[in-house]
């Protein structure tokens, strides 16, 4: 039982990371129907920005998180403007290949600058932060580290903020309109390009936050760290129903839990395989995802 609860807690931490990444995938897919392969590398860049803020600039954790989010948002917007915008009306396969290209460029460009060897995140400094993050609770045999609480809290804060932006603000309304019908939205006077850029920025900021949190939690980052979590986060987005924001959260936590339990049951070598098997199963059984509605294809 203790083991079970402990696994759930670990699963929640991992799931939060996947959920944060999956939100970006799902928003971008919802608005321009593109699997943004580069998204997982934005997450990697976020981890490195956090790393450099803490080691070189000696900034505290929370400011580093904020800076990483801002830089990632800028990066996301730049990727969209440079690589995807010229292909707005191109066939989807063209944009998809471009996305793979951008992803590889970020990975190997980063590898060129920071070298391939993994780096370990610096210990948390600063009087307040180290006191908060270093501590951990124990209930019987269950250990909850403060880092895990931090990850969960930040994930909740960010997803609530995201929900508010999407439901309450004008730009959020524009996002929903564009994802429903781009042409109609344009006719209603919505600036489609700005809206798409904003979506990329928002999603990338979340990925950047996930990157810093992963650095704090797992303590090791490398230029290819985004590939697998990115794919799994995408699986999470598909599981919940791509384009649906609560779906991405549910999917993220589900995939995190599955992965932790498969490892816990002693099949850690197979955990990636299980996630992909889930993906193929969902795609066969209910391609629209858990919360998705079936849509009929129109000619």
Contacting positions for another protein (CB under 8 A):
33-35, 83, 86-87, 90-98, 100-105, 107-109, 111-112, 116, 227, 231, 234-235, 238, 269-270, 272-273, 276-277, 279-280, 283-284, 287, 297, 299
**Least gap, CB of 55 to another protein (angstroms):** 23
Please list the residues that pair with 143 across neighbouring strands. 138
d(CA 46, CA 75): 10
CB nearer to another protein: give 116 or 180. 116
Taking CA atoms, 96 is separated from 64, 93, 103, 112, in Å, by 32, 5, 11, 24
**Least gap, CB of 270 to another protein (angstroms):** 6
CB nearer to another protein: give 185 or 279. 279
Angle, nearest 10°, between helix axes 227-240 and 39-55?
A: 130
Q: What's the distance, CA 219 to chain centroid?
A: 18
**Least gap, CB of 36 to another protein (angstroms):** 10
CB nearer to another protein: give 198 or 234. 234
**CB-based contact 160:153 (threshold 8 Å):** no
Taking CA atoms, 217 is separated from 146, 236, 241, 245, 257, in Å, by 10, 20, 28, 25, 16
Q: What's the distance, CA 96 to chain centroid?
A: 18
**Least gap, CB of 168 to another protein (angstroms):** 31
**Least gap, CB of 42 to another protein (angstroms):** 15
CB nearer to another protein: give 205 or 282. 282
CB nearer to another protein: give 103 or 263. 103
**Least gap, CB of 297 to another protein (angstroms):** 8
Quick one: which of 133, 138, 113 has its CA closest to 123? Answer: 133
d(CA 206, CA 25): 10
CB nearer to another protein: give 151 or 278. 278
d(CA 230, CA 245): 17
CB nearer to another protein: give 112 or 137. 112
Taking CA atoms, 252 is separated from 14, 76, 151, in Å, by 8, 21, 13
**Least gap, CB of 242 to another protein (angstroms):** 9
């Amino acid at each position: 039982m203790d083991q079970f609860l402990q696994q759930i807690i670990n699963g929640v931490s991992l799931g939060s990371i996947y959920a944060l990444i999956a939100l970006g995938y799902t928003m971008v897919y919802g608005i321009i129907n593109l699997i943004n392969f580069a998204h997982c590398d934005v997450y990697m860049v976020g981890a490195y920005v956090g790393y450099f803020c803490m080691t070189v600039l000696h900034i505290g954790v929370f400011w580093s998180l904020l800076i990483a989010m801002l830089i990632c948002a800028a990066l996301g917007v730049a990727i969209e403007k440079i690589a995807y915008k010229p292909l707005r009306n191109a066939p989807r396969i063209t944009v998809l290949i471009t996305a793979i290209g951008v992803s590889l460029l970020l990975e190997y460009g980063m590898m060129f600058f920071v070298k391939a060897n993994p780096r370990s995140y610096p210990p948390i400094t600063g009087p307040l932060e180290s006191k908060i993050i270093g501590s951990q609770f124990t209930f019987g045999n269950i250990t909850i580290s403060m880092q895990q609480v931090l990850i969960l809290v930040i994930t909740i804060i960010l997803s609530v903020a995201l929900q508010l932006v999407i439901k309450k603000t004008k730009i959020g309304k524009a996002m929903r309109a564009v994802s429903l019908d781009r042409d109609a939205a344009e006719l209603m006077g919505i600036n489609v390009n700005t809206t798409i850029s904003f979506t990329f920025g928002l999603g990338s900021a979340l990925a950047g936050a996930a990157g810093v949190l992963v650095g704090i939690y797992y303590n090791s980052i490398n230029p290819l760290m985004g590939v697998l979590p990115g794919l799994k986060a995408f699986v999470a987005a598909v599981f919940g129903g791509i384009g649906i924001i609560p779906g991405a959260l549910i999917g993220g936590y589900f995939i995190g839990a599955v992965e932790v339990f498969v490892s816990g049951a002693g099949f850690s070598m197979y955990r990636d395989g299980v996630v992909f098997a889930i993906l193929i199963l969902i795609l066969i059984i209910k391609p629209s995802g858990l919360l998705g509605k079936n849509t009929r294809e129109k000619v």
